[in-house]
Amino acid sequence: MSKEKNLKLLTIKNINPELYEKVTKGELNITDAYNEAKRIQLGLTEFRGTNTKKNEFAVDFKRIIQLHNPSPEQLVVEIKKAYPFTWKEFIKADPDNSGKK
């Protein structure tokens, strides 16, 4: 067994011995048990990668905007940090995105 799998098994055993037992009985695979154990450890209601669909970017972005309520200036600053070499190509002097010049 690989070192990574051994480490995951040890983590599962320490966090949730019941999950470890299911893995040793073959009822649950190591990856699913590890994801569930980490979800429990971190106190999350869901853990991406365990039967959850990744939301579309627009949905995630809207959620971030509602949560943090950043100003347009803060958004531009973060875009510039994320794309330091290409941001000028994408940010145009068209704030309402109407396409009219």
For residues 8 and 86, the model is more confident at: 8
| Confidence (pLDDT) at 55 | 61
Q: Where are the domains of the chain?
A: 3-42, 57-90
Of the candidate ranges 24-28, 31-35, 47-51, the one whose mean pLDDT is the lowest:
47-51
CA–CA distance, 28 with 5 (Å, rounded to integer):
14
Query: What value does the mean pLDDT of the chain take?
Result: 81
| Confidence (pLDDT) at 101 | 46
User: What 3 state SS string does 7-57 have?
Assistant: HHHHHHHHHCHHHHHHHHHCCCCHHHHHHHHHHHHHCCCCCCCCCCCCCCH
pTM of the model: 0.46
61-96 burial code (b ≥16 CB/10 A, e <16): eeeeeeeeeeeeeeeeeeeeeeeeeeeeeeeeeeee
10-24 burial code (b ≥16 CB/10 A, e <16): ebbbebbeebbebbe
> What's the DSSP call for residue 99?
-
For residues 47 and 15, the model is more confident at: 15
Instruction: Assess whether pLDDT exceeds 80 at residue 3.
Output: yes
